[in-house]
């Protein structure tokens, strides 16, 4: 069974107004003081001080991954509360803000070179890592999942509001992210040699600072023996994060099996995959998606059904079928994060209320739709899952 892990980017917000607050360094400092030698790499900073990234352990079971995601969110929220802040699993900031970049040489260079883009970029994604046996297998997987990953954008869409307005998109983060020069889908690679050659060609243009800026939709991890899928918004519901990890693992299993059996990779041009991403970002699950097989528009629920049918054998083999089917049913019944944000705004007319509601949902939403939230411990002692960290995904 393949291992998996996730990285979640979370927004730091004022506990009352819902406005983003640049307190990442303060939260990281509190964590070090509170946890001492127990502090590990499960919480890191990002370019913008209004966000943090949680990193899970390596997992085999979705239930354990979900528990750790929830525990990580709770830990960060409890520590942030010591500074009067909370964490929200929002893929973009609904209220107007101008982010504050961390003062490091690399980020200063990015600010100087890329102008308004890094100064205004504030978006939170979900990155899923799944183990692979070799780079050859990894590249074969990348070539065979590329027409299916746009569905992940639709399932996780959680950024309809940006800078004080409704963008008209379900996942505005996906649209904003494509402004970076290397972001988006790629053509088929065909071999590890070609993958490496494409990387070198991109770096050779001088448009990127380094290999860390290869922001492809999916790529081989440079640090771990994994495929890393990077297209998803960070979901409001921690169970959706685990569900997406299960789907990506099944995608990798299915693609690897096709490769071993000599099934060729789909011959879809990158421009068509980019348009499939764009449709998923615009409409989420409320309209049409692009059929990954035919490349034609189809009703979103039909495409979701196709995904489940394709991944069924792998989901069953991993013991994930019920978890993933239940998760998709919940998203279809209760809405994506984008739909729930818009429903809250329709009810209140207040983007601050949208953020405050998201703070609650970040800490877990049960199957009946009731919000569960444990307020931060006033003693400042955060709770963390007892499971030891074995590796970073």
Is 323 part of any domain? yes
Q: Are strands 226-233 and 125-131 parallel, antiparallel or unpaired?
A: antiparallel
Q: Which of 257, 19, 36, 363 is nearest to 161 (CA)?
A: 19
Is 50 exceeded by the pLDDT of residue 372? no
What are 280-314's pLDDT values in tens digits? 999 999 999 999 999 999 999 999 999 999 999 99
Residues 6 or more apart in contact with residue 37 via CB below 8 angstroms: none
Is 371 part of any domain? no
Locate 55 and state its tokens: 């990193």
Is 392 part of any domain? no
Count up the domains in the chain and report the number.
1
State what percent of residues in the chain have pLDDT above 70.
91
CA-based torsion, 348, 349, 352, 358: positive or negative? positive
Average pLDDT for the chain: 91
Is 301 part of any domain? yes
What range does the domain containing 250 cover? 4-362
At 70, which CATH number? 3.30.590.20
What are 318-334's pLDDT values in tens digits? 999 999 999 999 999 99
Is 214 part of any domain? yes
Is 389 part of any domain? no
Render 197-233 in DSSP notation, one character per residue.
HHHHHHHHTS-SSSGGG--BSEEE-SSSSEEEEEEEE
- pLDDT at res. 365: 55
Is 357 part of any domain? yes
Quote the DSSP letter at residue 98.
-
Grade residue 122 by pLDDT with cuts at 50, 70 and 90: very high
CA gap 13, 19 in Å, rounded: 5
């Amino acid at each position: 069974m393949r291992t998996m892990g996730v990285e979640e980017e979370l927004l730091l917000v004022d506990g009352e107004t819902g406005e983003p607050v640049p307190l990442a360094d303060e939260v990281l400092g509190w964590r070090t003081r509170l946890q001492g030698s127990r502090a590990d790499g499960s919480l890191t900073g990002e370019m913008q001080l209004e966000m943090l990234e949680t990193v899970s352990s390596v997992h085999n079971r979705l239930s354990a991954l979900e528990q750790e995601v929830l525990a990580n969110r709770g830990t960060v929220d409890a520590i942030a509360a010591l500074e009067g802040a909370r964490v929200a699993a929002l893929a973009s900031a609904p209220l107007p803000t101008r982010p504050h970049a961390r003062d490091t040489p690399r980020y200063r260079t990015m600010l100087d070179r890329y102008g308004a883009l890094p100064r205004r970029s504030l978006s939170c994604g979900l990155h899923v890592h799944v183990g692979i046996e070799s780079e050859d297998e990894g590249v074969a997987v990348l070539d065979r999942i590329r027409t299916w990953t746009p569905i992940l954008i639709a399932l996780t869409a959680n950024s309809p509001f940006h800078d004080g307005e409704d963008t008209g998109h379900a996942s505005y983060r996906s649209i904003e992210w494509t402004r970076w020069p290397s972001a988006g889908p790629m053509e088929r690679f065909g071999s590890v040699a070609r993958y490496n050659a494409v990387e070198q060609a991109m770096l050779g243009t001088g448009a990127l600072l380094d290999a860390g800026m290869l922001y492809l939709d999916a790529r081989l991890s440079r640090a771990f023996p994994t495929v890393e899928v990077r297209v998803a918004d960070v979901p409001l519901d921690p169970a959706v994060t685990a569900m997406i990890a299960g789907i990506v693992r099944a995608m990798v299993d299915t693609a690897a099996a096709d490769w071993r059996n000599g099934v060729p990779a789909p011959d879809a041009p990158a421009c068509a995959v980019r348009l499939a991403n764009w449709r998923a970002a615009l409409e989420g699950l409320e309209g049409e998606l692009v059929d990954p097989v035919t490349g034609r528009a189809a009703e979103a629920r039909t495409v979701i059904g196709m995904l489940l049918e394709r991944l069924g054998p792998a989901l069953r083999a991993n013991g994930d079928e019920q978890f993933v089917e239940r998760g998709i049913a919940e998203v279809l019944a209760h809405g994506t994060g984008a739909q729930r944000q818009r429903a809250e705004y329709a009810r209140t007319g207040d983007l601050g209320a949208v953020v405050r509601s998201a703070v609650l949902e970040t800490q877990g939403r049960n199957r009946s739709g009731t919000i569960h939230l444990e307020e931060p411990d006033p003693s400042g002692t955060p709770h963390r899952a007892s499971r030891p960290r074995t590796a970073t995904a």
